[in-house]
Amino acid sequence: MAFPPQFLEELRSRLALSEVVSKRLRLIRAGREFKAPCPFHNEKSPSFYVNDQKGFFHCFGCGAHGDVIGFVMRHDNLGFPEAVEHLAGEAGLPVPRPTEEDRQRYERRKTLHDLVEQAARWFEQQLHAPVGRPGLDYLLRRGLDGDTIARFRLGYAPGDSGALRSHLGKQGFSDEDMVNAGLLKRPDDGRAPYSFFRNRVMFPVTDRRGQVVAFGGRILEGDGPKYVNTADTPLFHKGTLLYGLSRARQAAADGKPVIVAEGYMDVIALVRAGFEGAVAPLGTALTETQVQELWKLIPAAEKVPFLCFDGDNAGRRAAWRAVERILPHLAPGQSARVAFLPEGEDPDSLIRAQGAKAMGAVLEAAIPLSEALWRMESEGRSTDTPEAKAAVKAALEGRVSAIADRDVQSFYRTEMRRRVDEAFAPVRSGGGSWSRPWVPGQGRGRFGEPPRRHVPGVPGARTSKPAGEGRGRASRLALVRERILLATLINHPELFGELAEPMGLLPFSDPELEKLRWTVIECLSDEANGDSTLDAAALCRHLSSAGHDTMVGALLSESTYIHAAFARPDASPDDARKGWWPAWRHLHHERVLDDLREAKTALTRDNSEANFARVVALQQEVIKSGLGMTDDGDFDDA
C-alpha cells in the first residue's frame, strides 16, 4: 500500500520520536538526546540514542538506525502499512485510502524520480568526459576541488541536443516522461523533442528528502540567459523548494544558522566555509512559501533565518521585497534578520577573498526585521517637511497593518511609533523655540533639552541625556541599580500600575537600557489601558520580537540577581515591591545630585536669578528626599 509523501511527512512531524520510543523503552536524557539500552541486541550499557531534532534513532552497538516508522516496524514486528496505521492512530491523523488514480499518480512520480536521478548521473559523467572539459575548467577556475564537485553532484549538459534523449531512451524512458520531467522541450513544429539544458554546468536540485527533482544550469558560451531552471513539473515547484534544503534541515537540527543566499555558487561557497545551513531560491525572489519552509527547518525557539543580500542598490531592493513578503506571516518567535554584504561582494567572492571570518562578521552585523522595515521606508526619502514626515509614518503604518498576528502587529506598531517620535517629533525648548528631538547616541537638541514623551498612565514621563557618565564608582552603581529596577519590573509586570510613574520619570544612563525601559513602559501602558497586564513570559516574548532579546537575556541573569534577590522571577510581588523602591530612591538621588552639580556649574558661569533659583530648587528636592549635605556644601550621595 502506497501512502502520499505529504501524509508521511505530516505523520513524522506530529510525533516526537522520543515520545513513541519512551512508551516501549525507559529513556534517559543525555544533553539534546535520549539514550537507553538497545532493544535490538543484548547489552549492559546504553548505546541506543534518540534525537528528536534529527528525527532518527541510532545504536552505536549494532548499527540499527531509522525514523519513527522504522522503529515501530522493528520493535513491534509490523510491516510498513501496519506501522503507519498504528502511528496515525497515535497522532490522530486519518489514514488516506488511495484510489486507483492515486496509485497511478504515485507510480508516475516514482518513474519520474528514477528518470531525473538517471539524468543527474549522466550529467555527472559528462562533466568528467572530454565533452565536459569546458564545464570542469569553469568549476576549477571558480575554486572548486574534486571533492566539492562530487559532494554537490555537479555535472555538465553538452551542446548536443539529442544526446540526453538517446541515453535515457535506451534505459526505457519515454519522450513524454522526459518532457514531463523538464529535461526535454517539444518544439511547436512537430519535430522531435530536444534537450532543454545545453552547454551548461548543471546543479542538481533536491527535495526535502535529498532526492533529485530538478536542475539549474549555467551557460558557458553562446546565446541565452546566464542561468535557467527546470520549469514546474509533477516533482518540482520552484516557488516552494530551495537549493540546499535537505542539507540545511540537518544543519538547522544541529543548531547551525540558516542563511538564504542568492545563487548556487553562493550556497556552495557558504557550505564549504562551514555554513551548512545555506540555501537559495531557484531563479525567483524569495516567496512566502519558501519563508514558511525556512521556519519549519529551525528549532522552535530560534526561528530567525538570515536573509543575505548584496550590498548594492539591487541587493537592497531585493531585501526590501523579501521584507514585504515576510511581514504578513510574522508570528511570536518567528522572524528573520537581514544581512548586507560589502558593496560589490557576494558570499562566494567574499569568502574566497577574505575567508569564513568575514562572512561571520556579516552575519553578526545582521539587522532585525523591525530595523529593516524602518530603513525600507525612511532611507532615501526627503523628510524636511511635515508632509514628507507624515508620508513616512503612513507608509510604516501600512506595512505594519499587513502583519496578520495581532500581538506581533501591536508590538511592531509600538516600535515604529517610537522610531517616528525619535526621528521626527519636535521638542519645545525652555526658551520657547522648537528644537530637534534627542535620539540616543546622536547628541542633543539645539538647546540641550531632551524630548518629553507622553506615555498613558505615566504623567510627566520624559527621556533625558545619559546621566552619570564618567563619574567613577557612583555611575557603576547607578548602572547596577538601573538593571535591578528594570529586571524587577520585567519579572513582575503586575506591579506596573504602582511603579509606572516613578519608572517613567527616571532616565537611564545606558542607551540600550534606556531603549528597553521605554519599550517596557509603552508595552505595559498599552496593556494597562486595555484593563489587562501581560505576564512576565509574554512580556519577554514581546521584548525579544522587538529586537531586545540579547539585552533581556543579559539583564535577566545571575549578574543582576546577585545584587538583588528581590528582582528574581520567583520572588514574591511583595518582596519585589519592597526591594524596588529603595533602589529607585537611591538612583533618583543620584540623578538629582547630577542635576544639582550641573546647576552649580551653570551658576558659576552665569550668576543669574534663573540659575540661582534652579540651584535652590534642586537643594530643596534633595532635602525632601532625606539626604544630608557634606562639609563642602554638596550632598552625600552614598
- Integer CA distances (angstroms), 84 to 20, 76, 208, 351, 617, in order: 13, 12, 20, 45, 80
pLDDT value for 351: 94
Q: Examine the pLDDT at 464 and tell me if it is beyond 60.
A: no
**pLDDT band for position 572 (cuts 50, 70, 90):** very high
SS3 150: helix
pLDDT at 355 over 80: yes
Query: Which band of pLDDT confidence, cut at 50, 70 and 90, is reported for residue 460?
Result: very low
| Grid cell for residue 204 | 542538481
Do 64 and 57 meet the contact criterion of CB atoms below 8 Å apart? Answer: yes
> What is the per-residue pLDDT across 35-68, written as a single tens digit (0 to 9) for each?
999 988 877 788 899 988 778 898 888 888 888 9
pLDDT band per the 50, 70, 90 thresholds, residue 76: confident
Cα angle: 124, vertex 125, 130; to 5 degrees: 120
**Span(s) in the chain for CATH 3.90.980.10:** 107-321+344-357
CATH 3.90.1150.10 fits 5-91, yes or no: no
Question: pLDDT confidence of 275, banded at 50, 70, 90?
Answer: very high
Start-end of H helices in 341-472: 347-354, 356-364, 369-378, 386-401, 406-424
Q: Lowest-confidence range among 326-330, 423-427, 466-470?
A: 466-470
Instruction: Give the HSE-up count for residue 603: Cα atoms under 13 Å, Cβ half-sphere.
Output: 15
Residue 405 to residues 61, 108, 290, 329, 428, Cα–Cα distance (Å): 48, 40, 19, 8, 37
Confidence tier at 451 by pLDDT (50, 70, 90): very low
How high is the pLDDT of residue 174? Answer: 92
Rounded to an integer, the average pLDDT of 385-395 is 89
Output the pLDDT for position 566.
Answer: 92
520/83 Cα distance (integer angstroms): 51
CA distance 362 to 273: 14
CB 224 within 8 A of CB 195: no
Give yes or no for residue 336 having a pLDDT over 50: yes
Evaluate if residue 518 carries a pLDDT over 80: yes
Which of the two residues, 436 and 239, has the higher pLDDT score? 239
Instruction: Give residue 154's pLDDT band: very low, low, confident or very high (50, 70, 90).
Output: very high
- The pLDDT tens digits for 609-625 are 677 777 777 777 776 65
pLDDT at 299: 64
DSSP of 21-63: HHTTS--EEETTEEEE--TTS--SS--EEEETTTTEEEETTT-
What is d(CA 244, CA 150) in angstroms, rounded to the nearest whole number? 15
Given a cut of 80, is residue 476 above it in pLDDT?
no
What is the 8-class DSSP label of residue 302? G
- pTM, two decimal places: 0.57
Dump pLDDT digits (tens) for 626-637: 443 333 333 333
pLDDT of residue 64: 85
Residues 483 and 520: their CA atoms lie apart, in Å, by 13
| Numbered ranges of CATH 3.90.580.10 in the chain | 5-91
pLDDT reported for residue 395? 92
pLDDT score for 142: 92
Q: Residue 103: pLDDT above 70?
A: no
Burial of 638 by CB count in 10 Å (0-12 exposed, 13-18 middle, 19+ buried)?
Answer: exposed
Rounded to whole angstroms, how far apart are CA atoms 546 and 276? 28
Q: Would you call 452 helix, strand, or coil by DSSP? A: strand
**Cell (9 digits) for 306:** 538570515
- Whether the per-residue pLDDT at 309 is higher than 50: the answer is yes
Considering the segment(s) 107-321+344-357 as one domain, its CATH architecture is Alpha-Beta Complex (3.90)
Element (H, E) at 434: strand 434-435
pLDDT at 132 > cutoff 90: yes
Give pLDDT tens digits for 184-205.
999 888 788 999 999 999 999 9
pLDDT at position 268? 96
pLDDT at 530 over 60: no
Sign of the CA dihedral running 576, 581, 582, 587: positive
Q: What average pLDDT is seen over the chain?
A: 82
- 43: Cβ contacts below 8 Å, ≥ 6 apart: 37, 61
CA distance 90 to 103: 25
Q: What pLDDT, on a 0 to 100 scale, did the predictor assign at position 468?
A: 39
